[in-house]
Amino acid sequence: MNTRLIDVALGRQPADAVIKGGILINVHSAQIYHTDIAIADGRIASIGPLPESVYGQATTIIDAAGMYLAPGFIDAHIHIESSMLTYTEFAKMVVRHGTTAVASDLMEVTIVSGVEGMKEVLRESETTPVRLYYPVPAFMEESHLQTTGSTLYPEMMEELIQLPQAVGLAEVLGMPLLAGSPASAAILALARAQHKTVEGHAPALRAEQINAFAGAGINSEHESTTKEEALMKVRVGMRVLMREGSASTDLLECLRAITEEGADARRCSMVSDDIDALHIKQCGHLDHKVRLAIRAGIDPITAIRMVSLHPAENFFIDHECGSIAPGRVADVVFLSSLEDCRVERVMVAGEMVVEQGCLIKQIQAPEYSGLLMNTIHLKRKATPEDMVITLTDQKRSARVHVIGASSVSLLTEALEADLPVRGGVVEPDVANDVLRIACVERYGKHGGIGRSFVKGFGLREGAIAISVGHDHHNITVVGSDPADMAIAVNRIDELQGGFVLVNQGEVLYELALPICGLLSPDDGEAVADRLSEFIQKLETLGCRMPSPNVTLSFITLIFIPKLAISDLGLFDVTQFKLIAPVISST
Amino acid sequence: MNTRLIDVALGRQPADAVIKGGILINVHSAQIYHTDIAIADGRIASIGPLPESVYGQATTIIDAAGMYLAPGFIDAHIHIESSMLTYTEFAKMVVRHGTTAVASDLMEVTIVSGVEGMKEVLRESETTPVRLYYPVPAFMEESHLQTTGSTLYPEMMEELIQLPQAVGLAEVLGMPLLAGSPASAAILALARAQHKTVEGHAPALRAEQINAFAGAGINSEHESTTKEEALMKVRVGMRVLMREGSASTDLLECLRAITEEGADARRCSMVSDDIDALHIKQCGHLDHKVRLAIRAGIDPITAIRMVSLHPAENFFIDHECGSIAPGRVADVVFLSSLEDCRVERVMVAGEMVVEQGCLIKQIQAPEYSGLLMNTIHLKRKATPEDMVITLTDQKRSARVHVIGASSVSLLTEALEADLPVRGGVVEPDVANDVLRIACVERYGKHGGIGRSFVKGFGLREGAIAISVGHDHHNITVVGSDPADMAIAVNRIDELQGGFVLVNQGEVLYELALPICGLLSPDDGEAVADRLSEFIQKLETLGCRMPSPNVTLSFITLIFIPKLAISDLGLFDVTQFKLIAPVISST
């Protein structure tokens, strides 16, 4: 209890600052009205009417005439690593869009650099204007299916869920849970005992599975891709995190559960899951989602609630943030237009950090330790032979599995194709966009390589490789020419992470991601521009995906149906097992 | 995690029961639609569509055709002792009105019989169909202002807040909190550390006090008596518990914050605070409040939410109850009319306990221990002289304080009157309804008697006495004739608690309350009939209050402005001190 807040509210002491003349978006009462706001010790002391005595000699008066005042925006589900920015650069970029808190499980950093690496990022976050809440990733050892740098074990969860930043469990997997896995039950019990939330991960659920998921104790879910899924999740009492990411644009579809089906939005939030720096530069962050929602027919107060009060309620932290109300941290977004969610100024914990849309505070990224740097260790240089699938010399044709990649969804299709075999090597079918894909182990453990075929990238020539690949972050490469593919992989090794485009033996483009092999040290604008260049270059080679890097980095995720690839091979998500890439051959 | 719920939802196992053909009031999506509901192990397994395989040979099919299905009703703030029924008889009475859970701090039992007495009632509750949640009363030692049988000390709070039934702190007092009391801060920190809610008690607050109260960390409040107060509490993010009690009918006024001011109802609940058996018999319980709300223009789904989802959210137990959704306890109210909230059947934890509005389950109250019985111990018999205020013989007239009692609000007015003094005794003014009031210590500690005058009861003759008097439960008596008053007090002593009406030396009416001096062992209907008889008898003597017993039992509450009385004297709530009953005399 901060007695200063009481004293300022009662007019016994002057406030540190008063925001005067603004139009409050009150997310509790769902009203918009003029009122002044008193701030003390970085928190809201009073939302008015204010006693005259809050104005002292040292009180800063902030003129908010004509401005709408929204609570700082909160992203309830984002993997900040997908921005390819350090936490510091990410924060600097999104705070200009009104974001003052995110919930991020830092799973990618943890997979590569372990819990100590993760804690380094937690500490880094404290020097930025974007508060980091930590839902503990529920991923568990799957070393028979994929190779990682580090993993979490059940016995580590108890410490992690008690970290001060910990707000629950993230992404508890649907399949083992519905199979009654004792490990899943144990971590759920742990979260419940700590009064923290449990987020599930279960894409493409049918109604009965959604019921089962809710009955098991899952509180929230972010994988809805249809309005029917979103509606059913609302009905069973889940918190529905509606996603608008770089490569999974599910928001408008999910919002139809509200606008068309009439479902109440009170347990719905808008989240990013995975967005890269280019997406942030071009579209924004949660402000973008608010604009989309309003244009889709969502009432503006509801849209603001879906990025403030609702995410705060999702994590049981609405006494701390998510509204402009007494006791909450003074995170305030000043909007010159509500309909367009135009962010002019942003106050974080009582301090103005954004003015006229620009960051006015100096924020420096720390030096990163050896835990986060130098994390790529190929067992040996990749060769063209590593990239291909071979059969016996006699074979002339093969029927193969093909991962069907989508540019708008993380779900993949399970396709098949008949491919020619020449000299024992199964060849791609470039004319029909069936390309080679390989995933190369990068932790120096055993040098395994998974191989298959992929459709959707449209590359007529060349190869792209990337060291971001959920949830193991081995190096994935797509192309037709095995030589180009090998060069791209080896170049990533030299860069200590990144993504690389190679054509006819030449590196056409590269972006280094030397922090964990996931993040660039550069600022958001620079990374966005480099990404844009990458996409343009790829376009000249035939790839028309809006976020090919994000799409590629999710093809490796063995928890999203239907097909995925790891360094240990092609993975059938529905059967949840590794499968041979070749179905039959003649 | 109950894997059976998962198995039933997925259709791997048959359900215990299926409610078929009903119209679900889905408080999550705010929709009303036909669906079937599968139940297993006393919980909701699935809200449909159900897989065919939930129907097994042993599955009970419950036909709900034409019935609306609401979640079991929850009263988020009720002092069950005010019913004057044992917990068992209270539960039997209210479950017929759809109530399946209440939050009750059992403060009255604790004041009289201590923590062990309270725990006896907690145990009793487990054999009834109404689940008892326990918000720990935050009342503290005030022995210089009133005398109690027992009290709570700060060091007891830590044990109590960890009881399995504990859901938070109840009625943290506004005044000490706003004064920055370290004791208040300490119990708030305790509740926060346990992730439990903190309910405040602060009637008649102005906007700046409401801000201060919220900023201090108070989550909910139940004392609003005007729409402005209710609206301001919604705006600062508090949960507003709108009260409709026997003697404090604030609901319709508070609902105007929603219907007239447009405040969102999502943090609003409807509660009873204090209702007696007669009120329950005549009006019902939460079903009555739903009817009132719908008639006041609240949409029916919102009205149902205000007695189900919202109270559950108030206590952070919405994963356990408050909705018909997977994982929740299967508490289901079958309504033949939604507009009239007509309760036909009630299922509690999967078992049908009410059919056609009647209890079909045998429930027996336990034997009560000595802790709860024989609790009235007058230091000595009361005499007529005990009842009067004396001055020196020379005085002819006195200006006195008069407690202005209201029949519709717990707030009292601070009135004054000029009274004649005869033979040194200040006389009442019966013609103007200014009567004597006295409060007699009943724990055998010191025999103190507080004395003053009261207006509002309208008794032309006779005296009424009662052993229920918040928050100390000494014996309060009102009347004009000191002899009648003394007889009434002494009769309560003989009865070991109750209330008694005496006129011209004769006991006209009595109701024994031998359990803690607060509760009758009889069933609810009998107590209601006896109460009705009491009120009729009082009417013949000029008293037109709808619930004179409740009104009288709150005149003793030193936390409700403006005047109160304890065994230690007249109390000025605004100044928070004992004051002399006589202002001046000539």
- B278-295 mean pLDDT: 97
And the tokens for A276?
């890269």
Distance from CA of B404 to the nearest CA of A (A): 29
Whole-number Å distance between alpha carbons of A239 and A269: 8
Write out the CATH class of domain A3-66: mainly beta
Q: What is the pLDDT of residue A361?
A: 95
Nearest to B212 among A10, A43, A188 (CB): A10
Q: What is the pLDDT of residue B126?
A: 97
The second-level CATH assignment, the architecture, of B70-371 is: Alpha-Beta Barrel (3.20)
Query: Is B316 in the A-facing interface, judged by CB distances under 8 Å?
Result: yes
Within 13 Å and on the Cβ side, how many CA atoms surround A436? 31
Distance from CA of B261 to the nearest CA of A (A): 9
Query: Is B266 in the A-facing interface, judged by CB distances under 8 Å?
Result: yes
Whole-number Å distance between alpha carbons of B423 and B435: 18
Query: Is B258 in the A-facing interface, judged by CB distances under 8 Å?
Result: no
Distance from CA of B316 to the nearest CA of A (A): 9
CB contact under 8 A, A237 and B9: no
Task: Calculate what percentage of chain A has a pLDDT beyond 70.
Answer: 100
pLDDT at B53 over 80: yes
pLDDT at B24 over 90: yes
Q: What is the pLDDT of residues B235-283, one digit of tens each?
A: 999 999 999 998 788 999 999 999 999 999 999 999 999 999 999 999 9
Nearest to A264 among B29, B189, B216 (CB): B29
Based on its alpha-carbon atoms, the radius of gyration of chain B, rounded to whole angstroms, reads: 25
In this prediction, residue A28 has a pLDDT band, given cuts at 50, 70 and 90, of very high
Query: Is B323 in the A-facing interface, judged by CB distances under 8 Å?
Result: yes
In this prediction, residue A559 has a pLDDT band, given cuts at 50, 70 and 90, of confident
CB B100 within 8 A of CB B346: yes
CB A71 within 8 A of CB A321: yes
B433-465 core/surface letters (b: 16 or more CB in 10 A; e: else): bbbbbbbbbbbeeebbbbbbbbbbbbbeebbbb
- A69-96 mean pLDDT: 97
Which residues in A lie closer than 8 A to residue B11 (C-beta atoms)? 208
CB contact under 8 A, B49 and A235: no
CB contact under 8 A, A31 and B184: no
Q: What is the pLDDT of residue B16?
A: 98
Nearest to B263 among A29, A50, A263 (CB): A29
Distance from CA of B9 to the nearest CA of A (A): 5
Distance from CA of B150 to the nearest CA of A (A): 28
Tokens 């590359």 belong to A459
Whole-number Å distance between alpha carbons of B76 and B315: 8
CB contact under 8 A, A49 and B208: yes
Note the ipTM here.
0.92
pLDDT at B350 over 90: yes
The rounded mean pLDDT for chain A is 96
CB contact under 8 A, B46 and A209: no
Which residues in B lie closer than 8 A to residue A50 (C-beta atoms)? 208
CB contact under 8 A, B189 and A236: no
Query: Is A583 in the B-facing interface, judged by CB distances under 8 Å?
Result: no
- B427-455 mean pLDDT: 97
Substitution target from B46, B206, B211 for chain A, most A beta carbons within 10 A: B211
CB contact under 8 A, A215 and B46: yes
- B322-331 mean pLDDT: 98
Burial of A114 (0-12, 13-18, 19+ CB in 10 A): middle
Q: What is the pLDDT of residue A393?
A: 81
Which residues in A lie closer than 8 A to residue B169 (C-beta atoms)? none
Query: Is B5 in the A-facing interface, judged by CB distances under 8 Å?
Result: yes
Substitution target from A54, A233, A235 for chain B, most B beta carbons within 10 A: A235
H/E element, A187? helix A182-193
Query: Is B12 in the A-facing interface, judged by CB distances under 8 Å?
Result: no
In this prediction, residue B546 has a pLDDT band, given cuts at 50, 70 and 90, of confident
- A503-526 mean pLDDT: 97
Query: Is B164 in the A-facing interface, judged by CB distances under 8 Å?
Result: no
In this prediction, residue B415 has a pLDDT band, given cuts at 50, 70 and 90, of very high
Q: Hey, do A3-66 and A70-371 end up sharing a CATH topology, with the first three levels equal? A: no
Query: Is B328 in the A-facing interface, judged by CB distances under 8 Å?
Result: yes
Q: What is the pLDDT of residue A139?
A: 73
Distance from CA of B66 to the nearest CA of A (A): 21
Q: Which residue of A has its CA nearest to B230?
A: A29
pLDDT at A141 over 90: no
Burial of A586 (0-12, 13-18, 19+ CB in 10 A): exposed
Q: What is the pLDDT of residue B246?
A: 84
Among A residues 118-157, those touching chain B with beta carbons less than 8 Å apart: none
Q: What is the pLDDT of residue A153?
A: 85
Which residues in A lie closer than 8 A to residue B9 (C-beta atoms)? 208-209, 211-212, 215
Q: What is the pLDDT of residues A423-446, one digit of tens each?
A: 999 999 999 999 999 999 999 999
Helix A286-295 to helix A251-259 angle (10° resolution) is: 50
Q: What is the pLDDT of residues A33-65, one digit of tens each?
A: 999 999 999 999 999 899 999 999 999 999 999
Q: What is the pLDDT of residue A174?
A: 86
Q: Which residue of B has its CA nearest to A265?
A: B29
Question: Do β-strands B358-359 and B397-404 pair in parallel, antiparallel, or remain unpaired?
Answer: unpaired
Q: Which residues contact A536 (CB under 8 A, 6 or more apart)?
A: none
In this prediction, residue A173 has a pLDDT band, given cuts at 50, 70 and 90, of confident
CB A35 within 8 A of CB A61: no
pTM for the structure as a whole: 0.93
- Give the distance, in angstroms, between the CA of residue A402 and the centroid of all CA atoms in the same chain: 26
H/E element, B28? none
CB contact under 8 A, A211 and B319: no
Among A residues 48-107, those touching chain B with beta carbons less than 8 Å apart: 48-51
And the tokens for A230?
């979103």
Nearest to A262 among B31, B178, B217 (CB): B31
In this prediction, residue A162 has a pLDDT band, given cuts at 50, 70 and 90, of very high
CB B212 within 8 A of CB B178: yes
Distance from CA of A192 to the nearest CA of B (A): 10
And the tokens for B351?
């078992």
Nearest to A6 among B45, B47, B180 (CB): B180
In this prediction, residue B434 has a pLDDT band, given cuts at 50, 70 and 90, of very high
Whole-number Å distance between alpha carbons of A432 and A459: 10
Nearest to A236 among B49, B237, B325 (CB): B325
Task: Calculate what percentage of chain B has a pLDDT beyond 90.
Answer: 91
Q: What is the pLDDT of residue A175?
A: 84
Nearest to B214 among A49, A318, A325 (CB): A325
Q: Which residues contact A179 (CB under 8 A, 6 or more apart)?
A: none
- B186-214 mean pLDDT: 92
Q: What is the pLDDT of residue B152?
A: 87
And the tokens for B262?
């447009």
Q: What is the pLDDT of residue A138?
A: 86
CB contact under 8 A, B235 and A177: no
Q: What is the pLDDT of residue B465?
A: 98
pLDDT at B453 over 90: yes
Residue-range domain boundaries for chain A: 3-66, 70-371, 373-585
A74 strand-pairing partners: A101
Q: What is the pLDDT of residues A407-426, one digit of tens each?
A: 888 899 999 999 999 999 99
Query: Is B31 in the A-facing interface, judged by CB distances under 8 Å?
Result: yes
Which residues in A lie closer than 8 A to residue B26 (C-beta atoms)? 235
Distance from CA of A468 to the nearest CA of B (A): 35
The rounded mean pLDDT for chain B is 96
Q: Which residue of B has its CA nearest to A54?
A: B208
E strands, A277-384, are 332-337, 342-348, 351-355, 358-359
Task: Calculate what percentage of chain A has a pLDDT beyond 90.
Answer: 91
CB contact under 8 A, B325 and A5: no
CB pairs under 8 A between A and B: 179
B199 strand-pairing partners: B220
CB contact under 8 A, B177 and A216: no
Q: What is the pLDDT of residue B575?
A: 93
Query: Is A316 in the B-facing interface, judged by CB distances under 8 Å?
Result: yes
